[in-house]
Amino acid sequence: MTTANEEPQAATLPAELADAVRSALAPGEQVAWCTQPRVGLYVRRIVPVAVLLAAGMVGSAAVFVVALRSVGEGLAGRVLLPAVFVLLELPTALFVVLFAVLMRRGARRTAYVITDRRAIVLCGGGRKVVSFAAGDLGKLRVRRRSDGSGDVTFRSPCRRLGGVFLNPPAVGFLAIDDVDRAAGLLRGLAAQAGTECR
């Protein structure tokens, strides 16, 4: 355990994040566990989006091939349609690559912390600190992978907008190693607060 005046498992966190964790702790608060997301696993979350965009690109390529055949071999067929295709598809491909790079950078600048009082998510190298009191941990969900890694989400509130329920992205510890240990510690915190984990 680490108190607010001690080093929060500096061996597992970069110095910038360890300092941010130390700054986020209240006097006497103890760190029970801290980690960072596994970068490769964190970035894989973009795969479904990339597949959908790639399918859209293939579909639009088919449309352009049909359009090319109907236009013929003139200037429009040889230069204009291929140029329009590249101008439309290149930004999509660049967006996917840029998004993956930004997710990778974000994972390296994120830390997940469980203390004796709360769960903390630090993003942006510690610039954004989101704290979840023990009472907020009642709707704990664990998504476990075969290698023991996974996601622990502990609050994913539904919001209503004009009769439509919106489900925001999961909140919690994403793409972590030893998901069972984190889940056990979070369940322990919730039990201390008298919150039932489901």
pTM of the model as a whole: 0.74
**Is the residue at 130 inside a domain?**
yes
- Which of 82, 105, 128 marks a domain boundary? 105
129 and 179 share one domain: yes
- Same domain assignment for residues 98 and 166: no
Query: Residue 48 is inside which H or E element, if any?
Result: helix 47-71
Give the contacts of 187 (CB within 8 A, at least 6 positions apart): 137, 140, 197
Q: How many CB atoms lie within 10 A of CB 124?
A: 12
* Number of structural domains in the chain: 2
Identify whether 57 is part of a domain.
yes
pLDDT in tens, the chain (198 residues): 444 444 444 447 899 999 999 999 999 999 999 999 999 888 887 777 777 777 777 777 777 667 666 666 666 656 666 677 677 777 777 787 888 888 889 999 999 999 999 999 999 888 899 998 888 887 789 999 999 999 999 765 556 666 665 666 668 999 999 999 999 999 999 888 776 555
Q: Which two tokens stand for residue 191?
A: 């039990």
Does any domain span residue 10?
no
Burial classification of residue 67, based on how many CB atoms lie within 10 Å of its CB (0-12 exposed, 13-18 middle, 19 or more buried): middle
Length of the chain: 198
Compute φ and ψ for 7, nearest 5 degrees. -75, 125
Residue 198 lies in a domain: no
**pLDDT tens digits for range 89-114:** 777 777 878 888 888 899 999 999 99
- Domain interval for residue 69: 45-105
Specify if 5 maps to a domain. Answer: no
Shared domain check, 145 and 187: yes
| Angle between the N-to-C axes of helices 81-108 and 47-71, in degrees from 0 to 180, rounded to the nearest 10 | 170
In the numeric block, which tokens belong to residue 196? Answer: 């039932």
